[in-house]
């Protein structure tokens, strides 16, 4: 003999008219992350990028799958240290530019140990005071 039973309680009453329109709620990952395998988060300290709206304590979203172009804000490794700057390619020269007039541009020279770690795609900045 075979018995059937229902896993969900049987509703007696008018079914919800919204039932046919159920969609999953919004997921921030969908909006902010195109390549999950290549996406990393870092936290920054300091104010050299303040004019690019990157403040001390912010979290940056980095996509390593993107190739950096002139104008991209990048995470770079320069002589063994991480930094975040705007990449500028001008007349066959490479510069790392701060977004704060107090910080001079850095020209990348042959002898520098320089590597691009990833391209910054979003800044997560808390508005509400802590």
Partner 1 sequence: MTFKFGALSLMSSIKYGLVDCNNFFVSCERVFNPKLWNRPVVVLSNNDGCVIARSKEAKALSIPMGAPAFQYKQTFLRHDVAVLSSNFSLYGDMSERVMATLEEFGFPLETYSIDEAFLELPSDIPETIGTEIRNRVLTWTGIPISLGVGITKTLAKVGSDLAKKRDDGIFFIRELPKNLPVQEIWGIGSRTTTELNHFGIRTALELIAQSDTWIEKYFPSALLRVVLELRGTPCLSVEEIPTPRKSIVSSRSFGDLIKTLAELKAAVASFVAIAAEKLRQDSLRASHLGIFVIGKDRIAHSASSPLSIPTSYTPHLIKTAHGLLEELYQEGSYRKAGVMLSHLVAEKEQQLDFFAAESTENLMPLMDQINRRKGKRTLFFAAEGINTDWQSTSKRCSAHFTTKWNELLKITI
> In whole angstroms, how close is the CB of 98 to partner 1 at the nearest point?
8
Backbone angles phi, psi at 46, to 5 degrees: 115, 170
Q: State the burial class of residue 117 (Cβ atoms within 10 Å of its Cβ: 0-12, 13-18, 19+).
A: middle
Complex with partner 1: residue 107 or 113, whichever CB lies closer: 113
Catalytic residues, by residue number, are: 48, 85
**Looking at the DSSP assignment, which residues form a beta bridge with residue 78?**
81, 114
Contacts of 56 (CB under 8 A, 6+ apart): 44, 45, 46, 47
Instruction: Pick the stretch among 3-11, 19-27, 81-89, 104-112 that binds partner 1 (CB under 8 A).
Output: 81-89
**Does residue 125 bind partner 1 (CB under 8 A)?**
no
Q: Which residues bind partner 1 (CB under 8 A)?
A: 35-38, 40-49, 54, 59, 64-65, 75, 77, 80-85, 98, 117
């Amino acid at each position: 003999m075979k018995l059937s039973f229902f896993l969900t309680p049987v509703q007696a009453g008018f079914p919800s008219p919204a039932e046919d329109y159920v969609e999953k709620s919004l997921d921030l990952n969908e909006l902010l992350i195109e390549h999950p395998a290549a996406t990393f988060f870092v936290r920054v300290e300091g104010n050299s990028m303040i004019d690019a709206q990157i403040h001390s304590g912010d979290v940056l979203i980095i996509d390593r799958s993107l190739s950096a172009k002139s104008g991209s804000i990048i995470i770079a490794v320069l002589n063994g240290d991480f930094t975040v700057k705007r990449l500028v390619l001008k007349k066959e020269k490479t510069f790392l530019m701060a977004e704060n007039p107090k910080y001079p541009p850095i020209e990348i020279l042959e002898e520098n140990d320089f590597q691009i770690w990833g391209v910054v795609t979003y800044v997560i900045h808390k508005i509400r005071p802590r």
